[in-house]
Protein backbone atom coordinates (compact mmCIF):
# COMPACT_ATOMS: atom_id res chain seq x y z
CA UNK A 1 0.00 0.00 0.00
CA UNK A 2 1.49 3.28 -1.06
CA UNK A 3 -0.86 6.04 -0.07
CA UNK A 4 -0.16 7.79 3.21
CA UNK A 5 -2.75 7.98 5.96
CA UNK A 6 -5.47 6.04 4.22
CA UNK A 7 -7.82 3.99 6.33
CA UNK A 8 -9.43 0.61 5.98
CA UNK A 9 -12.60 2.53 5.18
CA UNK A 10 -10.97 3.82 2.03
CA UNK A 11 -9.96 0.34 0.99
CA UNK A 12 -13.46 -0.93 1.68
CA UNK A 13 -14.90 1.89 -0.37
CA UNK A 14 -12.57 1.07 -3.22
CA UNK A 15 -13.58 -2.58 -3.12
CA UNK A 16 -17.23 -1.61 -3.00
CA UNK A 17 -16.68 0.72 -5.91
CA UNK A 18 -15.03 -2.04 -7.91
CA UNK A 19 -17.94 -4.34 -7.21
CA UNK A 20 -20.40 -1.72 -8.46
CA UNK A 21 -18.38 -0.82 -11.54
CA UNK A 22 -15.89 1.78 -10.44
CA UNK A 23 -16.91 5.38 -10.85
CA UNK A 24 -14.68 8.41 -10.28
CA UNK A 25 -16.87 9.87 -7.57
CA UNK A 26 -15.68 7.21 -5.15
CA UNK A 27 -11.99 7.64 -5.89
CA UNK A 28 -10.13 8.96 -2.90
CA UNK A 29 -6.59 9.07 -4.16
CA UNK A 30 -5.48 5.61 -5.11
CA UNK A 31 -5.51 4.16 -8.56
CA UNK A 32 -7.47 0.90 -8.59
CA UNK A 33 -5.57 -2.09 -9.90
CA UNK A 34 -8.33 -3.25 -12.22
CA UNK A 35 -9.50 0.00 -13.77
CA UNK A 36 -8.38 3.48 -14.82
CA UNK A 37 -11.49 5.56 -14.25
CA UNK A 38 -10.21 9.15 -14.64
CA UNK A 39 -7.73 11.05 -16.81
CA UNK A 40 -5.10 10.66 -14.08
CA UNK A 41 -6.21 7.19 -12.96
CA UNK A 42 -7.25 8.77 -9.66
CA UNK A 43 -7.57 12.38 -8.50
CA UNK A 44 -3.97 12.89 -7.37
CA UNK A 45 -2.30 13.33 -10.76
CA UNK A 46 0.49 10.95 -9.68
CA UNK A 47 -0.23 8.27 -12.29
CA UNK A 48 1.37 5.88 -9.85
CA UNK A 49 0.12 2.32 -10.04
CA UNK A 50 0.67 -0.27 -7.32
CA UNK A 51 0.53 -3.05 -9.89
CA UNK A 52 3.61 -5.26 -9.48
CA UNK A 53 3.01 -7.94 -12.08
CA UNK A 54 4.88 -5.95 -14.71
CA UNK A 55 8.25 -4.93 -13.31
CA UNK A 56 11.85 -4.20 -14.23
CA UNK A 57 12.59 -7.90 -14.36
CA UNK A 58 10.02 -8.83 -16.97
CA UNK A 59 9.17 -5.61 -18.80
CA UNK A 60 11.41 -6.51 -21.71
CA UNK A 61 9.43 -9.70 -22.27
CA UNK A 62 6.22 -7.81 -23.04
CA UNK A 63 4.96 -8.59 -26.51
CA UNK A 64 2.27 -7.24 -28.74
CA UNK A 65 -1.22 -8.45 -27.82
CA UNK A 66 -3.25 -6.53 -30.39
CA UNK A 67 -3.30 -3.38 -32.48
CA UNK A 68 -6.38 -1.30 -33.17
CA UNK A 69 -6.03 0.90 -36.23
CA UNK A 70 -8.12 4.05 -35.68
CA UNK A 71 -11.31 3.74 -37.66
CA UNK A 72 -12.47 7.32 -38.30
CA UNK A 73 -15.00 6.44 -40.99
CA UNK A 74 -18.55 7.45 -40.24
CA UNK A 75 -19.77 4.27 -41.89
CA UNK A 76 -20.92 1.91 -39.17
CA UNK A 77 -20.42 4.57 -36.50
CA UNK A 78 -23.03 6.22 -34.34
CA UNK A 79 -23.09 9.72 -35.86
CA UNK A 80 -24.04 12.99 -34.17
CA UNK A 81 -23.19 16.66 -34.46
CA UNK A 82 -24.25 19.88 -36.13
CA UNK A 83 -21.77 20.04 -39.01
CA UNK A 84 -21.89 19.04 -42.69
CA UNK A 85 -22.07 15.41 -43.81
CA UNK A 86 -18.66 15.57 -45.47
CA UNK A 87 -15.80 15.68 -42.96
CA UNK A 88 -13.28 18.53 -43.43
CA UNK A 89 -9.90 17.61 -44.92
CA UNK A 90 -7.28 17.04 -42.27
CA UNK A 91 -4.27 15.03 -41.30
CA UNK A 92 -4.80 11.67 -39.58
CA UNK A 93 -5.42 12.28 -35.89
CA UNK A 94 -2.99 11.28 -33.18
CA UNK A 95 -4.15 9.91 -29.83
CA UNK A 96 -3.52 12.43 -27.07
CA UNK A 97 -6.20 11.11 -24.76
CA UNK A 98 -5.51 8.89 -21.78
CA UNK A 99 -7.82 5.89 -22.24
CA UNK A 100 -10.17 5.18 -19.35
CA UNK A 101 -10.66 1.52 -18.51
CA UNK A 102 -13.77 0.35 -16.68
CA UNK A 103 -14.95 -3.26 -16.50
CA UNK A 104 -12.39 -4.30 -19.07
CA UNK A 105 -13.48 -1.74 -21.66
CA UNK A 106 -11.19 1.05 -22.92
CA UNK A 107 -12.75 4.45 -23.69
CA UNK A 108 -10.64 6.94 -25.62
CA UNK A 109 -10.92 9.79 -28.09
CA UNK A 110 -9.39 11.89 -30.82
CA UNK A 111 -11.07 15.11 -32.04
CA UNK A 112 -14.63 14.25 -33.18
CA UNK A 113 -14.35 10.53 -32.29
CA UNK A 114 -14.84 8.30 -29.26
CA UNK A 115 -14.30 4.54 -29.14
CA UNK A 116 -15.08 1.74 -26.72
CA UNK A 117 -12.79 -1.28 -27.18
CA UNK A 118 -12.49 -4.59 -25.39
CA UNK A 119 -9.18 -4.24 -23.55
CA UNK A 120 -8.40 -7.94 -23.89
CA UNK A 121 -8.98 -8.29 -27.62
CA UNK A 122 -8.98 -4.79 -29.12
CA UNK A 123 -12.39 -5.49 -30.58
CA UNK A 124 -14.49 -2.38 -31.18
CA UNK A 125 -17.64 -2.28 -29.04
CA UNK A 126 -18.82 0.99 -30.50
CA UNK A 127 -17.55 4.08 -32.29
CA UNK A 128 -19.14 7.51 -32.04
CA UNK A 129 -18.35 10.07 -34.80
CA UNK A 130 -19.15 13.78 -34.47
CA UNK A 131 -20.01 15.87 -37.54
CA UNK A 132 -17.88 18.92 -36.88
CA UNK A 133 -18.61 22.52 -37.81
CA UNK A 134 -14.86 23.21 -37.67
CA UNK A 135 -12.47 24.56 -35.08
CA UNK A 136 -8.89 23.67 -34.28
CA UNK A 137 -8.51 19.87 -34.29
CA UNK A 138 -5.18 19.90 -32.43
CA UNK A 139 -6.14 17.19 -29.95
CA UNK A 140 -8.52 15.75 -27.41
CA UNK A 141 -7.45 14.70 -23.90
CA UNK A 142 -10.10 12.08 -23.33
CA UNK A 143 -13.47 11.34 -21.83
CA UNK A 144 -15.06 11.42 -18.38
CA UNK A 145 -17.41 8.71 -17.11
CA UNK A 146 -19.98 8.86 -14.32
CA UNK A 147 -22.14 5.79 -13.74
CA UNK A 148 -23.68 4.89 -17.11
CA UNK A 149 -22.80 8.10 -18.91
CA UNK A 150 -19.77 9.26 -20.82
CA UNK A 151 -18.85 12.94 -21.41
CA UNK A 152 -16.49 14.57 -23.90
CA UNK A 153 -15.81 17.87 -25.69
CA UNK A 154 -15.47 18.64 -29.40
CA UNK A 155 -13.29 21.08 -31.39
CA UNK A 156 -16.42 23.09 -32.25
CA UNK A 157 -17.16 23.43 -28.52
CA UNK A 158 -19.94 20.98 -27.80
CA UNK A 159 -20.30 19.17 -24.51
CA UNK A 160 -21.61 15.72 -25.45
CA UNK A 161 -22.98 12.87 -23.34
CA UNK A 162 -23.16 9.26 -24.56
CA UNK A 163 -24.51 6.02 -23.13
CA UNK A 164 -21.43 4.12 -21.93
CA UNK A 165 -22.89 0.76 -22.90
CA UNK A 166 -24.00 1.58 -26.44
CA UNK A 167 -22.34 4.86 -27.48
CA UNK A 168 -25.76 6.34 -28.25
CA UNK A 169 -25.93 10.10 -27.76
CA UNK A 170 -28.03 11.47 -24.89
CA UNK A 171 -27.59 15.21 -25.58
CA UNK A 172 -25.13 17.90 -26.58
CA UNK A 173 -24.74 21.55 -25.55
CA UNK A 174 -22.68 24.33 -27.11
CA UNK A 175 -20.30 25.80 -24.49
CA UNK A 176 -18.31 28.41 -26.48
CA UNK A 177 -18.41 30.40 -29.72
CA UNK A 178 -16.32 28.80 -32.45
CA UNK A 179 -16.25 32.06 -34.44
CA UNK A 180 -14.11 33.58 -31.68
CA UNK A 181 -11.64 30.72 -32.29
CA UNK A 182 -12.57 28.89 -29.13
CA UNK A 183 -11.90 25.17 -29.43
CA UNK A 184 -12.25 22.49 -26.77
CA UNK A 185 -9.80 19.69 -26.04
CA UNK A 186 -10.18 19.08 -22.32
CA UNK A 187 -11.14 15.76 -20.72
CA UNK A 188 -14.12 16.28 -18.39
CA UNK A 189 -13.19 15.78 -14.72
CA UNK A 190 -15.96 14.43 -12.52
CA UNK A 191 -16.09 15.32 -8.82
CA UNK A 192 -19.23 14.24 -6.98
CA UNK A 193 -22.08 15.41 -9.20
CA UNK A 194 -20.00 18.11 -10.91
CA UNK A 195 -18.74 17.56 -14.45
CA UNK A 196 -15.91 20.08 -14.78
CA UNK A 197 -14.91 21.21 -18.27
CA UNK A 198 -12.77 23.99 -19.72
CA UNK A 199 -12.34 25.76 -23.05
CA UNK A 200 -9.31 26.49 -25.22
CA UNK A 201 -8.26 28.93 -27.94
CA UNK A 202 -5.52 31.52 -28.35
CA UNK A 203 -5.88 33.06 -31.80
CA UNK A 204 -8.20 35.99 -31.16
CA UNK A 205 -7.70 37.35 -27.63
CA UNK A 206 -10.60 35.69 -25.84
CA UNK A 207 -11.26 35.08 -22.14
CA UNK A 208 -10.87 31.63 -20.60
CA UNK A 209 -13.38 29.95 -18.32
CA UNK A 210 -13.98 26.75 -16.46
CA UNK A 211 -17.47 25.35 -16.05
CA UNK A 212 -19.23 22.79 -13.96
CA UNK A 213 -22.16 21.10 -15.66
CA UNK A 214 -24.90 18.96 -14.22
CA UNK A 215 -24.39 15.32 -15.24
CA UNK A 216 -28.05 14.62 -16.01
CA UNK A 217 -29.07 17.47 -18.32
CA UNK A 218 -25.68 19.06 -18.97
CA UNK A 219 -26.83 22.49 -17.77
CA UNK A 220 -24.45 25.06 -16.34
CA UNK A 221 -23.94 24.85 -12.56
CA UNK A 222 -21.17 27.41 -12.18
CA UNK A 223 -18.62 29.21 -14.30
CA UNK A 224 -15.23 30.46 -13.10
CA UNK A 225 -13.59 33.10 -15.27
CA UNK A 226 -9.83 32.65 -15.37
CA UNK A 227 -9.37 36.43 -15.60
CA UNK A 228 -11.21 38.93 -13.36
CA UNK A 229 -13.80 41.49 -14.38
CA UNK A 230 -13.52 45.14 -13.26
CA UNK A 231 -13.75 45.52 -9.50
CA UNK A 232 -13.02 41.87 -8.79
CA UNK A 233 -9.90 40.64 -6.95
CA UNK A 234 -7.00 40.49 -9.38
CA UNK A 235 -8.36 43.26 -11.61
CA UNK A 236 -5.49 45.56 -10.61
CA UNK A 237 -3.09 43.21 -12.41
CA UNK A 238 -4.57 44.39 -15.75
CA UNK A 239 -4.61 47.93 -17.16
CA UNK A 240 -8.27 48.03 -18.16
CA UNK A 241 -11.48 46.11 -18.75
CA UNK A 242 -10.71 45.43 -22.40
CA UNK A 243 -7.41 43.70 -21.66
CA UNK A 244 -8.73 41.48 -18.87
CA UNK A 245 -11.88 40.47 -20.74
CA UNK A 246 -9.73 39.44 -23.73
CA UNK A 247 -6.91 38.09 -21.59
CA UNK A 248 -6.86 34.35 -22.28
CA UNK A 249 -5.93 31.93 -19.49
CA UNK A 250 -7.41 28.80 -21.06
CA UNK A 251 -7.98 25.85 -18.70
CA UNK A 252 -7.25 23.10 -21.22
CA UNK A 253 -5.88 20.23 -19.08
CA UNK A 254 -7.87 18.42 -16.36
CA UNK A 255 -6.91 19.37 -12.83
CA UNK A 256 -6.42 17.32 -9.65
CA UNK A 257 -8.51 17.06 -6.49
CA UNK A 258 -8.05 16.61 -2.75
CA UNK A 259 -11.27 15.13 -1.31
CA UNK A 260 -10.33 15.94 2.30
CA UNK A 261 -9.83 19.62 1.55
CA UNK A 262 -12.52 19.56 -1.14
CA UNK A 263 -10.29 21.62 -3.43
CA UNK A 264 -9.86 21.27 -7.18
CA UNK A 265 -6.39 22.26 -8.40
CA UNK A 266 -6.03 23.65 -11.87
CA UNK A 267 -3.20 25.06 -13.96
CA UNK A 268 -4.39 27.97 -16.10
CA UNK A 269 -3.28 29.01 -19.57
CA UNK A 270 -1.19 31.92 -20.79
CA UNK A 271 -2.40 35.50 -21.21
CA UNK A 272 -3.42 36.95 -24.59
CA UNK A 273 -2.27 38.57 -26.85
CA UNK A 274 0.21 35.73 -26.60
CA UNK A 275 3.70 36.98 -27.47
CA UNK A 276 3.29 40.72 -26.84
CA UNK A 277 2.42 42.19 -23.46
CA UNK A 278 2.29 45.78 -24.71
CA UNK A 279 -1.45 46.20 -24.19
CA UNK A 280 -1.57 44.31 -20.90
CA UNK A 281 1.09 45.66 -18.48
CA UNK A 282 0.82 43.96 -15.08
CA UNK A 283 0.93 40.40 -13.74
CA UNK A 284 -2.25 39.39 -15.65
CA UNK A 285 -3.98 37.28 -13.00
CA UNK A 286 -5.08 34.50 -12.97
CA UNK A 287 -3.22 33.40 -16.11
CA UNK A 288 -0.24 31.01 -15.82
CA UNK A 289 -1.34 30.17 -12.29
CA UNK A 290 -2.07 27.19 -10.09
CA UNK A 291 -5.46 27.84 -8.53
CA UNK A 292 -7.48 25.99 -5.87
CA UNK A 293 -11.26 26.02 -6.40
CA UNK A 294 -14.20 24.67 -4.45
CA UNK A 295 -15.69 22.15 -6.91
CA UNK A 296 -19.21 22.71 -5.60
CA UNK A 297 -19.24 26.45 -6.11
CA UNK A 298 -16.36 27.37 -8.39
CA UNK A 299 -15.08 29.84 -5.76
CA UNK A 300 -11.31 30.28 -5.59
CA UNK A 301 -9.61 29.46 -2.29
CA UNK A 302 -6.07 30.53 -3.27
CA UNK A 303 -3.82 31.04 -6.28
CA UNK A 304 -0.13 31.07 -7.07
CA UNK A 305 1.09 32.54 -10.33
CA UNK A 306 4.08 30.65 -11.75
CA UNK A 307 4.71 33.13 -14.60
CA UNK A 308 3.74 36.75 -13.93
CA UNK A 309 3.06 38.60 -17.20
CA UNK A 310 3.93 35.75 -19.54
CA UNK A 311 5.00 36.76 -23.07
CA UNK A 312 6.14 33.34 -24.36
CA UNK A 313 3.03 31.10 -24.51
CA UNK A 314 4.18 29.22 -21.42
CA UNK A 315 0.86 28.32 -19.90
CA UNK A 316 0.79 26.66 -16.48
CA UNK A 317 -1.67 23.99 -17.61
CA UNK A 318 0.70 21.13 -16.68
CA UNK A 319 -0.84 18.71 -14.18
CA UNK A 320 -0.41 19.91 -10.59
CA UNK A 321 0.45 16.72 -8.67
CA UNK A 322 -0.65 16.06 -5.07
CA UNK A 323 2.21 15.00 -2.80
CA UNK A 324 1.81 13.88 0.82
CA UNK A 325 5.10 13.68 2.67
CA UNK A 326 7.71 15.49 4.71
CA UNK A 327 9.08 18.89 3.85
CA UNK A 328 11.61 20.65 6.08
CA UNK A 329 11.18 17.89 8.63
CA UNK A 330 7.43 17.93 9.03
CA UNK A 331 4.55 16.25 7.20
CA UNK A 332 2.70 18.45 4.76
CA UNK A 333 0.02 18.28 2.12
CA UNK A 334 1.69 19.69 -0.98
CA UNK A 335 1.19 20.23 -4.68
CA UNK A 336 3.95 20.23 -7.29
CA UNK A 337 4.16 21.38 -10.88
CA UNK A 338 6.91 20.86 -13.43
CA UNK A 339 6.01 23.96 -15.40
CA UNK A 340 6.30 24.83 -19.06
CA UNK A 341 8.41 27.89 -18.18
CA UNK A 342 11.30 25.60 -17.12
CA UNK A 343 10.76 25.78 -13.36
CA UNK A 344 9.61 23.28 -10.75
CA UNK A 345 7.25 24.61 -8.09
CA UNK A 346 6.24 23.12 -4.74
CA UNK A 347 3.36 24.67 -2.78
CA UNK A 348 1.39 23.89 0.37
CA UNK A 349 -1.94 22.79 -1.09
CA UNK A 350 -3.95 23.76 2.00
CA UNK A 351 -2.97 27.43 1.85
CA UNK A 352 -1.13 27.95 -1.42
CA UNK A 353 2.02 28.93 0.52
CA UNK A 354 5.08 28.80 -1.70
CA UNK A 355 7.66 26.25 -0.54
CA UNK A 356 10.21 25.85 -3.32
CA UNK A 357 11.17 26.90 -6.85
CA UNK A 358 13.96 25.38 -8.92
CA UNK A 359 15.01 25.26 -12.57
CA UNK A 360 14.40 21.95 -14.30
CA UNK A 361 16.35 22.80 -17.47
CA UNK A 362 19.72 24.53 -17.72
CA UNK A 363 19.29 26.35 -21.02
CA UNK A 364 16.53 28.78 -19.98
CA UNK A 365 17.54 32.37 -20.60
CA UNK A 366 14.40 34.46 -20.24
CA UNK A 367 14.16 35.45 -16.59
CA UNK A 368 15.87 38.02 -14.38
CA UNK A 369 15.91 35.44 -11.61
CA UNK A 370 13.59 34.17 -8.90
CA UNK A 371 11.84 36.86 -6.88
CA UNK A 372 11.03 36.90 -3.14
CA UNK A 373 7.81 34.94 -3.66
CA UNK A 374 9.50 32.25 -5.71
CA UNK A 375 8.30 33.48 -9.10
CA UNK A 376 10.58 33.82 -12.14
CA UNK A 377 10.87 37.57 -12.75
CA UNK A 378 9.88 38.81 -16.19
CA UNK A 379 12.76 40.21 -18.26
CA UNK A 380 11.42 42.63 -20.91
CA UNK A 381 14.67 42.23 -22.87
CA UNK A 382 13.64 38.66 -23.70
CA UNK A 383 10.25 39.58 -25.14
CA UNK A 384 9.73 39.19 -28.88
CA UNK A 385 11.41 42.01 -30.84
CA UNK A 386 11.42 43.12 -34.47
CA UNK A 387 15.03 41.96 -35.16
CA UNK A 388 14.49 38.76 -33.19
CA UNK A 389 14.99 37.58 -29.60
CA UNK A 390 16.68 34.27 -28.89
CA UNK A 391 14.78 32.40 -26.19
CA UNK A 392 15.06 29.07 -24.46
CA UNK A 393 12.87 27.13 -24.15
CA UNK A 394 10.84 27.78 -27.31
CA UNK A 395 7.14 28.60 -27.06
CA UNK A 396 6.25 24.90 -26.72
CA UNK A 397 8.09 25.10 -23.45
CA UNK A 398 10.46 23.11 -21.29
CA UNK A 399 7.65 20.62 -20.75
CA UNK A 400 4.08 20.51 -21.93
CA UNK A 401 0.80 18.60 -21.70
CA UNK A 402 2.12 15.00 -21.56
CA UNK A 403 1.41 14.22 -17.92
CA UNK A 404 4.11 13.75 -15.29
CA UNK A 405 4.28 10.93 -12.75
CA UNK A 406 5.16 10.93 -9.06
CA UNK A 407 6.28 7.91 -7.07
CA UNK A 408 5.60 8.00 -3.32
CA UNK A 409 8.19 5.18 -3.07
CA UNK A 410 11.07 7.28 -4.41
CA UNK A 411 9.77 10.81 -3.70
CA UNK A 412 10.65 11.66 -7.29
CA UNK A 413 8.56 13.40 -9.93
CA UNK A 414 9.15 12.19 -13.51
CA UNK A 415 8.55 14.24 -16.65
CA UNK A 416 9.88 15.01 -20.12
CA UNK A 417 11.95 18.17 -20.67
CA UNK A 418 13.17 20.12 -23.71
CA UNK A 419 16.09 22.54 -24.01
CA UNK A 420 15.00 24.11 -27.24
CA UNK A 421 15.94 27.52 -28.64
CA UNK A 422 13.92 29.70 -30.96
CA UNK A 423 13.86 33.27 -32.24
CA UNK A 424 10.77 35.38 -31.61
CA UNK A 425 10.07 38.15 -34.13
CA UNK A 426 7.60 40.86 -33.17
CA UNK A 427 5.42 41.30 -36.25
CA UNK A 428 2.63 43.45 -34.79
CA UNK A 429 4.11 46.71 -33.53
CA UNK A 430 0.75 48.39 -32.98
CA UNK A 431 -0.04 49.72 -29.51
CA UNK A 432 -2.93 47.26 -29.46
CA UNK A 433 -1.37 44.03 -30.75
CA UNK A 434 -3.67 41.12 -31.64
CA UNK A 435 -3.51 37.35 -31.51
CA UNK A 436 0.04 36.02 -31.26
CA UNK A 437 1.54 39.33 -32.46
CA UNK A 438 4.88 37.65 -33.22
CA UNK A 439 6.37 34.88 -35.35
CA UNK A 440 8.62 32.10 -34.15
CA UNK A 441 11.54 30.46 -35.92
CA UNK A 442 12.63 27.27 -34.18
CA UNK A 443 16.38 26.68 -33.99
CA UNK A 444 17.07 23.39 -32.21
CA UNK A 445 17.64 21.76 -28.87
CA UNK A 446 20.75 21.28 -26.78
CA UNK A 447 19.22 18.22 -25.14
CA UNK A 448 15.77 16.83 -24.44
CA UNK A 449 15.65 14.53 -21.46
CA UNK A 450 13.47 12.48 -19.19
CA UNK A 451 14.13 13.83 -15.70
CA UNK A 452 13.42 12.85 -12.11
CA UNK A 453 13.19 15.65 -9.53
CA UNK A 454 13.35 15.22 -5.77
CA UNK A 455 10.36 17.18 -4.49
CA UNK A 456 12.08 17.97 -1.19
CA UNK A 457 15.00 19.80 -2.81
CA UNK A 458 13.79 20.63 -6.31
CA UNK A 459 17.05 19.15 -7.59
CA UNK A 460 17.27 16.91 -10.64
CA UNK A 461 18.15 13.48 -9.28
CA UNK A 462 18.72 11.89 -12.67
CA UNK A 463 18.34 12.74 -16.31
CA UNK A 464 18.21 10.54 -19.43
CA UNK A 465 18.76 12.21 -22.76
CA UNK A 466 16.16 11.39 -25.37
CA UNK A 467 17.26 10.93 -28.95
CA UNK A 468 15.10 10.57 -31.97
CA UNK A 469 13.72 12.42 -34.95
CA UNK A 470 14.18 16.18 -34.67
CA UNK A 471 15.36 15.90 -31.09
CA UNK A 472 18.56 14.21 -32.19
CA UNK A 473 20.33 17.50 -31.85
CA UNK A 474 21.94 17.38 -28.46
CA UNK A 475 25.55 17.57 -27.44
CA UNK A 476 27.88 14.61 -28.11
CA UNK A 477 27.35 11.80 -25.73
CA UNK A 478 28.98 8.48 -25.14
CA UNK A 479 26.37 5.98 -24.03
Partner 1 sequence: MIRVRRVLAVLVVLAVPGVLVVSAVPAAAQQQALTPVTDTAAVERGQQLLVAQCGFCHGANARGGSGGPDLTRSTLVLSDEDGRQLGEFLAVGRPDKGMPKFDLPRAQVSDLAAFLHSSIYQNSNRRLYKILDIVIGDAKAGEAYFNGAGRCGTCHSPSKDLKGVGAKYEPATLQARLLLPRGRNREPGTVPAPLYTDPTSVTATVTPSSGTPVSGGLVRLTDFEVTLYDATTGQMRSWLRNGDTPKVVVVDPLQAHMDQLPRWTDADMHNMTAYLASLK
Count of residues interacting with partner 1 (CB under 8 A): 101
User: How far apart (Å, rounded) are the C-alpha atoms in residues 471 and 132?
Assistant: 34
Among 14, 28, 35, 48, binds partner 1 (CB under 8 A): 48
Question: Footprint of partner 1 on residues 183-212 (CB under 8 A)?
Answer: 183, 203-205
Nearer to partner 1, 302 or 415 (CB): 415
Nearest in space to 366 (alpha carbons), one of 326, 398, 322: 398
CA-CA distance, 145 to 17, in Å (whole number)?
Answer: 14
User: In this structure, what is the dihedral angle of CA atoms 129, 85, 181, 390, given to the nearest 10 degrees?
Assistant: 70
**Burial call 383-422: b when 16+ CB within 10 Å, e when fewer:** bbeeebbebbbbbbbbbbbebbbbebeebbbbbbbbbbbb
> Strand locations in 241-370, DSSP E?
256-258, 263-267, 289-293, 300-305, 321-327, 330-338, 343-348, 354-359, 367-370
What is the distance of C-alpha 31 from the center of its chain?
19
Which candidate in 156, 258, 283, 313 is catalytic? 313
With binding defined as CB under 8 A, does residue 159 bind partner 1? no
Among residues 103, 121, 177, 410, the one that binds partner 1 under rule CB under 8 A: 177
Give ∠ CA 248-422-383 in degrees, rounded to 5. Answer: 50
Interacting positions 394-453 with partner 1 (CB under 8 A): 396-405, 407, 414-418, 421, 423, 425-430, 432, 434-436, 438-439, 441, 443-444, 446, 448, 450
- Minimum Å gap between C-beta 15 and partner 1 is 21
The CA distance from 366 to 392, in Å, is: 7
Smallest separation, CB 253 to partner 1 (Å): 12
Q: Between 365 and 384, how does the x/- string for binding to partner 1 read (CB under 8 A)?
A: x---------------x---
* From 161-169, 247-255, 371-379, 461-469, span contacting partner 1 (CB under 8 A): 461-469
Residue from 6, 26, 173, 180 binding partner 1 (CB under 8 A): 180
Q: Closer CB to partner 1, residue 149 or residue 257?
A: 257
Report the alpha-carbon distance of residue 143 to residue 37 in Å, rounded: 10
Q: Which is nearer to partner 1, 96 or 172 (CB)?
A: 96
Q: How far apart are CA 295 and CA 212, in angstroms?
A: 8
Which one among 24, 135, 198, 271 touches partner 1, defined by CB under 8 A?
A: 135
CB of 214 to partner 1, least distance (A): 26
Site for partner 1 in 53-112 (CB under 8 A): 54, 59-60, 62-65, 67, 88, 90-91, 94, 98-99
DSSP 389-414: EEESS-TT-SS-SS--EEETTTTEEE
Nearest approach in angstroms of CB 2 to partner 1 is 10
The binder of partner 1 chosen from 41, 208, 269, 352 (CB under 8 A)? 41
Q: How far is the CA of 153 from the CAs of 34, 137, 139, 396, 404, in angstroms?
A: 26, 11, 11, 23, 23
Query: Is 350 a binder of partner 1 (CB under 8 A)?
Result: no
Which of the stretches 49-57, 209-217, 228-236, 367-375 binds partner 1 when contact is defined by CB under 8 A?
49-57
Q: Nearest distance from residue 409's CB to partner 1, in Å?
A: 10
242 in contact with partner 1 (CB under 8 A) = yes
CA separation for the pair 407, 455 (Å, rounded): 10
Q: Is residue 474 within the footprint of partner 1 (CB under 8 A)?
A: yes
Contacts with partner 1 in 243-272 (CB under 8 A)?
Answer: 246
Is 240 among the residues known to form the active site? no
Contact 46/30 with Cβ under 8 angstroms? no
Quick one: 325 or 416, whose CB is closer to partner 1?
A: 416
Minimum separation from the CB atom of position 109 to partner 1 (A): 15
Please enumerate in sequence order all residues whose Cβ is within 8 A of that of 161, keeping only pairs 6 or more positions apart, or say none: 149, 150, 151, 169, 170, 171, 172, 215, 218
Among 45, 139, 188, 249, binds partner 1 (CB under 8 A): 139
Residues with catalytic function: 313
Amino acid sequence: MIIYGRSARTVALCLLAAALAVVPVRLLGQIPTDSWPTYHGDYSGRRFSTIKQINTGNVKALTLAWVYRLNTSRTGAIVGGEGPDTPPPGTPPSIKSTPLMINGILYFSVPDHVWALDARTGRENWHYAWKTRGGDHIGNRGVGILDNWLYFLTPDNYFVSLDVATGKERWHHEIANMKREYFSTNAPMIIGRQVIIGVGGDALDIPGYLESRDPEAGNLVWRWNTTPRPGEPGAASWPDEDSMSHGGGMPWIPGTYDPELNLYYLGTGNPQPVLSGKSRPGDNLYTCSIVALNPNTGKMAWYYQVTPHDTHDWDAAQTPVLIDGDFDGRPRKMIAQASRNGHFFLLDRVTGEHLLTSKHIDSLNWTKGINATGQPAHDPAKDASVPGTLISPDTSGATNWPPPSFSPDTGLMYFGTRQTFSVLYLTDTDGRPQGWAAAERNVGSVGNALKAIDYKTGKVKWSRLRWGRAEARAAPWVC
